[in-house]
Amino acid sequence: METIKLKGEYIKLGQALKAAGLAGSGVDAKYAIEDGLVSVNGEIEYQRGKKLRAGDMVTFEGNTIKIE
């Protein structure tokens, strides 16, 4: 499980995928999210700009990211 520590109040979903190394670029993150391949807290998420806050869990291709 990858952990991302917040520097501010939130991080956007696309940025979190890039920060965790699960998406090589913003475009890769965009297409993965639009294709319904990413879930946040167990629910499929289609918004690349979804604000993630401490406690949120993101799953993509069998990898999990915890936001702290």
Spans of all domains in the chain:
2-67
pLDDT at residue number 15: 96
- By C-alpha distance, which of 16, 11, 10, 42 is closest to 30? 16
Handedness of CA 17, 20, 21, 25 (dihedral sign): positive
pLDDT band at residue 6 using 50, 70 and 90 as cut-offs: very high
Q: What's the rounded Cα separation, in Å, for the pair 3 and 54?
A: 10
Domain 2-67: assigned CATH number: 3.10.290.10
Label residues 24-40 b or e (16+ Cβ within 10 Å = b): eeeeebeebbeeeebeb
Q: How confident is the model at residue 44 (pLDDT cuts 50, 70, 90)?
A: very high
Place of tokens 């890769």: 28
pTM for this predicted structure: 0.92
- Of the chain, the percentage scoring pLDDT greater than 70 comes to 100
Determine the average pLDDT of the residues in 6-17: 96
